[in-house]
């Protein structure tokens, strides 16, 4: 058998490579779709280019390149069996879990176990060689297979380790001025000094004023007195009272307009009589718990409609986008663009032609990745309802945890943000700037063909008149976005705190988080 396999692979040996330093191994996502090893058909990784392809796209790559040897990766996910007492059986280390992959679904690792399967597949006959098969394969093939299996997936190093944003130390933390005004803050019973509100309270670290945060669009949250206080005093830092615990607290900088770190928070709080190690909230049964456990109103809870029973929707137009770490700006813009008929027609309507004429490396082709994302959002392929049998089983357990899989725009983001100092990071960005960036890429890649971004183009005519000669000059320029300033004096709800003027709908996301604001 060893000789047979060796002879079988001889014609293909020149095409099988061992990944070198710098080679990216796309073993977690298809270049043309969002198929992965967890998908029904698994993922095929070319043993020459190390590009990944789903079952419906691997034949295209074979026909275009003539590459015949692929590694087929399949991850089987199953729910753990339960013991006689009803508890989950402790997970044993499974020798068949050998793929260095991040999960593409939101499974609880404690409730599921995984079994990985790998084999070499030779096209066009689809001849399969199970792996590992060290004794029967030529040494070069064995080394190449081990290298692919052990390589980190192409975008794993770019993914954030958590959903948390990258919070920087405030420039005011080291030199913060604190007034010796005798103010001491009690361990509980806080309320806003201006409206007596008892939720969403912030302590100004300069003068000890306890004031409420901003008003949310549903009428909850606060009246914005903390922000008003900053505008009157320019005292920059405030800490959210119900987040203080022995490990730290949530600090916001009004001047920097973002959440920040304060390395001296313990010292700053002790100035007002607050001991971080002792500040705990008594519960009804007399025990103590961390203040983070207190139920509090947040803007994110309002957006998510927390506490309400919502009906899940599936299908075309209801596909979520996974958050890559503060990537809401990307999700919002791309969902808006693919709601426009011209973008749908250009990329989704021409999907097969774009794929057929894509370059040898489709991960670096703008049109291919636009078509991939557009199809992922509009086809409903990645937003399917649970099977009837699965739904019945979940109802019998009195739990319903099924969530749509959604799409993860890692490959798209990696391409459109390449070389850009801001969009290539995991920091929050401005949606307006990203839209202009995408329009620029669309125009650059639409030379000689239809340009869908023309739907945004308009002509601006500027008239300049000399005050002395009264002579007039007209100039014209092309623009894509018109700004509509809203004078604060025209607001009808000025007394309700910070105004919200959303210009874009929030993205539909498979996973998401929002930074705390006040």
Round the CA-based radius of gyration of the chain to a whole number and report it.
28
- The pLDDT tens digits of the residues spanning 419-445 come to 888 888 877 788 999 999 999 999 999
Pairing of strands 52-53, 112-122: unpaired
Q: How far apart are CA 495 and CA 488, in angstroms?
A: 11
| pLDDT digits 0-9 by tens, 308-363 | 677 778 888 889 898 887 788 999 999 999 999 999 999 999 999 999 999 999 99
Distance in angstroms (rounded) separating the CA atoms of residues 378 and 335 = 9
CA distances from 146 to 24, 26, 139, 259, 443 (A): 15, 15, 11, 44, 43
Q: How far is the first Cα of the chain from the last one, in angstroms, to the nearest whole number?
A: 69
Q: Which two tokens stand for residue 362?
A: 């489709």
Q: How sure is the predictor about 166, in pLDDT bands with cuts at 50, 70 and 90?
A: low
Taking residues 489-497, report their average pLDDT.
Answer: 66
pLDDT, average across residues 499-518: 46
Q: CA–CA separation, 29 vs 54, rounded Å?
A: 8
Token pair 């500027």 is found at: 462
pLDDT at position 451, please? Answer: 92
Q: Rounded to an integer, what distance in angstroms lies between the CA atom of residue 412 and that of residue 423?
A: 12
135 band by pLDDT with thresholds 50, 70 and 90: confident
- Write the pLDDT tens digit of every residue in 230-265: 999 999 999 998 888 888 888 999 998 888 999 999
Of the listed ranges 128-137, 338-347, 478-487, 505-514, the least confidently predicted one is 505-514
**Could you give the domains of the chain?**
5-80+97-103+110-150 (3.30.40.10), 327-455 (3.90.70.10)
Q: What is the pLDDT of residue 499?
A: 42
| Average predicted confidence (pLDDT) for the chain | 80
Let me know the angle formed at the C-alpha of 298 by 495 and 333, rounded to the nearest 5 degrees.
Answer: 90
Query: Distance of alpha carbon 373 from its chain centroid, rounded?
Result: 14
Q: If you average pLDDT over residues 456-481, what whole number do you get?
A: 93
- Phi and psi of 289, rounded to 5°? -145, 160
Q: Give which of 74, 46, 73, 75 is closest to 62, Cα–Cα.
A: 46
User: What confidence tens digit (pLDDT) does each residue in 272-282 have?
Assistant: 999 887 765 44
């Amino acid at each position: 058998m060893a000789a047979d396999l060796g002879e079988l692979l001889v014609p293909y040996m020149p095409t099988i490579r061992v990944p070198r330093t710098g080679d990216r191994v796309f073993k977690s996502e298809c270049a043309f779709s969002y198929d992965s090893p967890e998908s029904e058909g698994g993922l095929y990784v070319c043993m020459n280019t190390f590009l990944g392809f789903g079952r419906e796209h691997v034949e295209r790559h074979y026909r275009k390149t003539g590459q015949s040897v692929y590694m087929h990766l399949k991850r089987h996910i199953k729910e753990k069996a339960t013991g006689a007492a009803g508890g989950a059986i402790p997970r044993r280390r499974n020798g068949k879990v050998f793929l260095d992959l991040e999960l593409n679904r939101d499974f609880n690792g404690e409730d599921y176990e995984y079994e990985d399967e790998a084999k070499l597949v030779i096209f066009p006959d689809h001849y399969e060689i199970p792996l590992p098969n060290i004794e029967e394969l030529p040494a070069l093939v064995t080394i190449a297979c081990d290298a692919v299996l052990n390589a980190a997936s192409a975008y794993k190093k770019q993914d954030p380790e958590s959903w948390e944003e990258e919070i920087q130390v405030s420039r005011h933390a080291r030199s913060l001025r604190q007034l010796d005004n005798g103010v001491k803050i009690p361990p509980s019973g806080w309320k806003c000094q201006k409206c007596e509100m008892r939720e969403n309270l912030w302590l100004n670290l300069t003068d000890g004023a306890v004031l409420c945060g901003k008003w949310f669009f549903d009428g909850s949250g606060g009246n914005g007195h903390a922000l008003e206080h900053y505008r009157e005093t320019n005292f920059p830092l405030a800490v959210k009272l119900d987040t203080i615990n022995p490990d730290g607290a949530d600090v916001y900088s009004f001047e920097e307009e973002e959440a920040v770190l304060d390395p001296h928070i313990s010292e700053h709080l002790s100035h007002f009589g607050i001991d971080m190690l002792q500040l705990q909230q008594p519960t009804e049964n007399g025990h103590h718990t961390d203040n983070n456990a207190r139920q509090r109103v947040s803007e994110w809870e309002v957006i998510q409609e927390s506490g309400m029973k919502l009906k899940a929707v599936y299908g075309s137009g209801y596909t979520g986008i996974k958050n890559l770490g503060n990537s809401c700006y990307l999700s919002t813009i791309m969902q808006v663009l693919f709601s426009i008929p011209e973008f749908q027609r250009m990329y989704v309507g021409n999907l097969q032609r774009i794929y057929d004429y894509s370059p040898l490396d489709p991960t670096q082709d703008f049109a291919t990745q636009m078509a991939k994302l557009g199809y992922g959002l509009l086809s409903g392929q990645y937003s399917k309802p649970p099977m009837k049998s699965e739904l019945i089983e979940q109802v019998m357990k009195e739990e319903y945890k099924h969530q749509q899989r959604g799409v993860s725009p890692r490959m798209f983001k990696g391409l459109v943000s390449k070389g850009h100092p801001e969009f290539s990071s995991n920091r929050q960005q401005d949606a307006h700037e990203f839209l202009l960036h995408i329009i620029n890429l669309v125009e650059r890649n639409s030379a000689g063909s239809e340009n869908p971004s023309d739907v945004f183009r308009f002509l601006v005519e500027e008239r300049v008149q000399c005050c002395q000669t009264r002579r007039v000059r007209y100039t014209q320029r092309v623009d894509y976005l018109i700004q509509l300033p809203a004078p604060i004096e025209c607001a009808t709800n000025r007394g309700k705190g910070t105004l919200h003027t959303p210009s874009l709908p929030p993205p539909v996301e498979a996973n998401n988080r929002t930074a705390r604001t006040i």
